[in-house]
Amino acid sequence: MKIIVDADGCPVVELAISIAKEHSLDIVIVKNYCHEIIDDYATIITVDLSRDRADFYIVNNIEKGDVVITQDYGLAAMVLAKEGLCINQNGLIISSNNIDILLGRRHLNQELRRKYQKSFSKFKKRKKETDKEFENSLRSLLASQSI
């Protein structure tokens, strides 16, 4: 088992690396060349800026039981299809029980943006509590896999 982080725009990269170290797990950080991430423990993979390039890398390199951290529900669906585990940056564990709802919501938001030519997402400043929720969920997910 390894942890793979879809790192472009991911606010929990350092936290994920810290938890991987604690559990002596390999961690792979997949980012495009516009982001600078340096770490002595993690394996850093840099892909080009093409649309979905990081997602394709992750899907092509995931193995059964790997944990993927992503906020992209399309990627999450592909990870689940390859029997991987998935969690988002807020600590939501994505599973076969909730992926259809998440993909439906994603589709609806895309349709609204196309129809009204604007964004309906207003992201609030990230709170420390959200990082703690992510940490607790990741630890729980790893514990459920008998790490």
- Domains in the chain: boundaries: 2-96+127-144
Interval 28-86: pLDDT, tens: 999 998 888 999 999 999 999 888 899 999 999 999 999 999 999 999 999 999 999 99
Q: What is the model's pTM?
A: 0.86
Q: Give the angle 96-100-101 at the CA atoms, nearest 5°.
A: 115
Q: Which amino acid is at 44?
A: I
Alpha helices in 23-127 (DSSP H): 53-61, 73-81, 99-116
Token reading at 76: 């999450």
Interval 96-143: pLDDT, tens: 999 888 887 866 767 767 777 766 565 678 889 999 999 999 999 999
User: Which H or E element spans position 68?
Assistant: strand 67-69
CA distance 8 to 137: 21
Buried b / exposed e across 40-56, counting CB within 10 Å, b at 16+? eebebbbbeeeeeebbe
CATH architecture of 2-96+127-144: 3-Layer(aba) Sandwich (3.40)
